[in-house]
Amino acid sequence: MDGYGQRVYSCLIVENEPLAIRMIEDCIAHRADLEVAGIATELAELKEMVGRFVPDVIFLDFIIPPGNAQGFHFGMLPKSSSIVVISAIPPHQFDGAQYLSNPYELLKPVSIAAFDRCMEQVIADRNEE
């Protein structure tokens, strides 16, 4: 909750391209109900971060370096996190997509309008749970 009683959703960005990270950060900063809780630029960092905390929303690019991930895969992401796949290519074309059930999708480059539409759906779905 923020100082006004509004729910603030923690977000984890999983992306290795600096311009794409900045794009997602700008979209998140545009909204008072979202905050960046972390940025992972490789699979090993993602593994470490979700071992420490469970973000409400994970913005996920499938194409990231593995690092020392030691068998970690996208199917090991927290089930309570909403997954938003951000990519220039549809998720069904990636290895690893089969591990995600019903991810939300945003195609790059992401506009503020498309981001807001996606997040309104994510939040509505989370409030139904």
97 by Cβ neighbours in 10 Å (0-12 / 13-18 / 19+) ranks as middle
| pLDDT above 90: percentage of residues in the chain | 65
Q: pTM of the prediction?
A: 0.90
Average pLDDT, integer, range 24-30: 97
Residue 38 φ then ψ, to 5°: 180, 165
Residue 53's SS3 state is: coil
Mean pLDDT of the chain: 89
pLDDT of residue 63: 83
The domain defined by 9-128 carries CATH number 3.40.50.2300: yes
Tell me how far apart the alpha carbons of residues 56 and 37 are, in angstroms, rounded to a whole number: 10
Task: Tell whether the model's pLDDT for residue 69 goes beyond 90.
Answer: no
- Using pLDDT thresholds of 50, 70 and 90, give the confidence band for residue 64: confident
Torsion sign across C-alpha atoms 89, 93, 98, 99:
negative
Element (H, E) at 35: strand 34-40
Task: Tell whether the model's pLDDT for residue 113 goes beyond 60.
Answer: yes
